[in-house]
């Protein structure tokens, strides 16, 4: 993808850069004429690394000159990406407009996507102009998508959030926004224009049933936070329906609404739920110093939001919430999809360009969640050009594997050299994972013991190893197996990373199947590890 960078000065000053690092992977950038004649600009990202915000530029020619229409729309996608939209109402009917996307990086540099220019012709409005709402400012929508362990239709404490689940936002039957859940299952739509909206959750393919509705209609008021949770599970459908009139839940078998336990209040948010509402209380958002640009959708005409009567809600005393950790940056990801047998290349889906070369004999196989994985017989592996974990004290390794002989000391992945004691880098294995720093010393403290993983022959197993600069933790199928103290040193440079082998010694080459190999740029929490496991089952 060709990219240009330019400072926050006159747009005519544009400097071409030949090798700008890929920080955002765009899926699409589009413009479409709306029923009222306005133009809706939408875009979706697969990943966003070091992204702070987006800018939108408009011109009446594909070659400019360009005017900046949106200065700072916050980037919220992180590792999993997100969907965005901008509604351009300042248009002249019959005029064709061209739109260009730019990304503001965390270091304030700006990247312009010149090859992703979208265009649309403004139309003549064929719908009545909606009555302006008397309120000013924006509202917001948030919630959690969880794995409902008991199937009661609610996301309760201890029920893990689901990572990378798509939630879409609609108005008047038209999708105007979308996002994906973070590792804790949380999603956000910020700076939503007051109006009536419909939320739709798209169940992950491995979790086809819900214990709560997948579609919810609710009003959004200025200065208010609408909270909508989606509960998924693998049990039979539950008897709950959503009541748009009261924004709550009710059991089909009884007219008496069921009210779940009061949620823990978030910092600086005073909850004011609707009477009889069990899921979507409305909450007051503290005023911000400046308005945050974001979703600017046109609300449904004639449906004005109403503020429900306030009810004082006393939260259960407990420790102050600390909030979820920020999304983990993805350093490398191999999903083993595509025709890699023909190309000889395994694509890195993280956007960091660490594609891997195939060496020796490999094959395709059925992976987790009915996807495609890689099959290895001990006579082949894949290798990239670098070690993404080198120099790090905060990192997570995650992969799925299946083998008939987990008792063998197979090397699942490696980026290390070893000389009978001294070494550098790391190795993931069916035995204990191994780490060395650049001083050639191991990261583990001496005289440690380890618990057995109890890998099951012939079954897919999820293996995760985290390092936070203090301890190395090993998880199998979402459960903590080992927790070792370390020297605190950074992981050594080692050798270029290989998957399915340790090239220094071919006798340890892996024999079995593998899928979804990922390295994250920080230590994941146990909840995030469990979410990855549930997502892959």
CATH of the domain at 427: 2.60.120.200
Please report which confidence band the pLDDT of residue 147 belongs to, taking 50, 70 and 90 as the band edges.
confident
pLDDT at 259 over 60: no
pLDDT at 275 over 80: no
237 by Cβ neighbours in 10 Å (0-12 / 13-18 / 19+) ranks as exposed
Number of separate domains in the chain: 3
Q: Measured between alpha carbons, how far is 424 from 441 in angstroms, rounded to an integer?
A: 8
512 and 398 in a single domain? The answer is yes
pLDDT at 331 over 90: yes
Average pLDDT over residues 511-525: 95
- What's residue 377's pLDDT? 93
- What's residue 148's pLDDT? 83
- What's residue 207's pLDDT? 67
503 and 396 in a single domain? The answer is yes
Q: Measured between alpha carbons, how far is 213 from 353 in angstroms, rounded to an integer?
A: 39
246 inside domain: yes
Q: When comparing pLDDT for 379 and 242, which is higher?
A: 379
pLDDT at 268 over 50: no
385 and 412 in a single domain? The answer is yes
Q: When comparing pLDDT for 150 and 456, which is higher?
A: 456
Average pLDDT over residues 82-96: 84
- What's residue 72's pLDDT? 58
pLDDT at 75 over 80: no
pLDDT at 319 over 90: no
113 and 152 in a single domain? The answer is no
Q: 106-110, 300-304, 357-361, 461-465: which has the minimum mean pLDDT?
A: 300-304
Please report which confidence band the pLDDT of residue 237 belongs to, taking 50, 70 and 90 as the band edges.
low
Please report which confidence band the pLDDT of residue 489 belongs to, taking 50, 70 and 90 as the band edges.
very high
Encode pLDDT of 126-144 as tens digits: 544 443 333 346 778 888 9
108 and 193 in a single domain? The answer is no
Last residue of a domain, one of 255, 284, 313: 284
- What's residue 326's pLDDT? 66
pLDDT at 531 over 70: yes
335 and 457 in a single domain? The answer is yes
312 inside domain: no
- What's residue 467's pLDDT? 97
319 inside domain: no
Q: When comparing pLDDT for 134 and 38, which is higher?
A: 38
- What's residue 404's pLDDT? 94
Q: 289-298, 385-394, 412-421: which has the minimum mean pLDDT?
A: 289-298
308 inside domain: no
Last residue of a domain, one of 121, 152, 174: 121
Q: When comparing pLDDT for 303 and 341, which is higher?
A: 341
338 and 421 in a single domain? The answer is yes
Q: In CATH, what number is assigned to the domain containing residue 261?
A: 2.60.40.10
pTM > 0.85: yes or no:
no
Q: Which residues pair with 141 in a beta bridge?
A: 189, 226
295 inside domain: no
- What's residue 115's pLDDT? 79
* Among 85, 122, 98, residue whose Cα is nearest residue 298: 85
Average pLDDT over residues 104-127: 79
Encode pLDDT of 8-28 as tens digits: 222 222 222 223 344 678 888
CA dihedral 449, 455, 460, 464 (to 10 degrees): -10
Task: State the alpha helices, DSSP H only, in 338-419.
Answer: 340-343
Q: Which residue segment(s) compose the domain that 212 sits in?
A: 139-284
- What's residue 310's pLDDT? 43
**Percent above pLDDT 90 for the chain:** 32
Which tokens in the block code for residue 358? 């195939």
Mean pLDDT, the chain, integer? 76
171 and 112 in a single domain? The answer is no
Which strand (E) or helix (H) includes residue 424? strand 423-429
Q: Which residue has the tokens 């839940």?
A: 249
82 and 144 in a single domain? The answer is no
SS (H, E, C) 36-100: CCCEEEEEEEEEECCEEEEEEEEECCCCCCCEEEEEEEECCCHHHCEEEEEEECCCCCCCEEEEE
Average pLDDT over residues 197-215: 79
- What's residue 370's pLDDT? 67
307 inside domain: no
Q: When comparing pLDDT for 451 and 74, which is higher?
A: 451
306 inside domain: no
pLDDT at 493 over 70: yes
Last residue of a domain, one of 284, 303, 320: 284
300 inside domain: no
Which tokens in the block code for residue 109? 């540099």
**Percent above pLDDT 70 for the chain:** 72
CB atoms within 10 A of CB 99: 24
279 and 339 in a single domain? The answer is no
280 and 363 in a single domain? The answer is no
279 and 363 in a single domain? The answer is no
Encode pLDDT of 346-364 as tens digits: 999 988 999 999 999 999 9
């Amino acid at each position: 993808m060709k990219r240009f960078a330019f400072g926050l000065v006159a747009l005519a000053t544009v400097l071409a850069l030949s090798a700008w690092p890929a920080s955002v992977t765009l899926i699409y950038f589009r413009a479409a004429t709306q029923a009222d004649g306005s133009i809706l600009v939408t875009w979706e990202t697969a990943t966003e690394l070091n992204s702070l915000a987006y800018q939108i530029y408009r011109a009446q020619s594909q070659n400019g000159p360009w005017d900046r229409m949106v200065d700072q729309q916050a980037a919220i996608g992180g590792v999993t990406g997100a969907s965005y939209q901008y509604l351009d109402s300042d248009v002249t009917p019959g005029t064709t407009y061209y739109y260009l996307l730019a990304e503001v990086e965390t270091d304030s540099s700006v990247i312009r996507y010149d090859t992703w220019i979208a265009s649309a012709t403004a139309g003549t409005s064929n719908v009545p102009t909606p009555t302006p709402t008397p309120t000013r400012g924006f509202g917001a929508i948030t919630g959690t998508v969880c794995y409902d362990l008991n199937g009661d239709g609610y996301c309760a404490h201890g029920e893990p959030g689901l990572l990378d689940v798509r939630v879409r936002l609609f108005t008047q039957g038209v999708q105007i926004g979308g996002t994906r859940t973070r590792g804790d299952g949380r999603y956000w739509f910020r700076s939503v224009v007051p109006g009536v909206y419909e939320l739709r959750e798209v169940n992950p393919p491995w979790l086809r049933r819900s214990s709560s509705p997948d579609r919810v209609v609710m009003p959004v008021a200025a200065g208010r936070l609408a909270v909508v949770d989606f509960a998924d599970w693998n049990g039979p459908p539950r008897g709950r329906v959503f009541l748009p009139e009261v924004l709550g839940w009710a059991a089909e078998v009884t007219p008496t609404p069921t009210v779940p336990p009061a949620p823990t209040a978030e910092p600086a948010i005073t909850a004011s739920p609707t009477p009889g509402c069990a899921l979507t209380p409305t909450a007051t958002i503290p005023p911000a110093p400046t308005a945050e640009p974001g979703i600017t959708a046109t609300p449904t005409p004639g449906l004005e939001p109403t503020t429900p009567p306030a009810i004082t809600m006393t939260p259960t005393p407990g420790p102050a919430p600390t909030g979820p950790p920020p999304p983990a940056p993805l350093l490398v990801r191999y999903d083993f999809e595509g025709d890699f047998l023909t190309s000889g290349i395994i694509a890195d889906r993280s956007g960091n360009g660490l594609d891997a070369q195939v060496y020796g004999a490999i094959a395709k196989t059925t992976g987790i969640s009915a996807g495609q994985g890689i099959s290895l017989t001990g006579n082949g592996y894949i290798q990239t050009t670098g070690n993404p974990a080198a120099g790090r004290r905060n990192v997570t390794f995650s992969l799925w594997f299946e083998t008939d002989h987990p008792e063998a000391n197979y090397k699942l992945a490696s980026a290390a050299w070893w000389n009978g004691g001294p070494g550098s880098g790391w190795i993931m294995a069916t035995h204990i994972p191994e780490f060395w720093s650049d001083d050639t010393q191991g990261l583990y403290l001496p005289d440690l013991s380890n618990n057995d993983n109890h890998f099951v022959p012939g079954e897919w197993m999820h293996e995760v190893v985290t390092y936070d600069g203090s301890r190395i933790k090993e998880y199998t199928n979402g459960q903590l197996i080992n927790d070792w103290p370390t020297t605190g040193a950074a992981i050594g440079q080692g050798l270029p990373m290989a998957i399915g082998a340790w090239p220094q010694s071919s006798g340890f080459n892996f024999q079995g199947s593998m899928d979804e190999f990922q390295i994250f740029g920080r230590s994941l929490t146990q909840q995030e590890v469990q979410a990855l496991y549930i997502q892959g089952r």
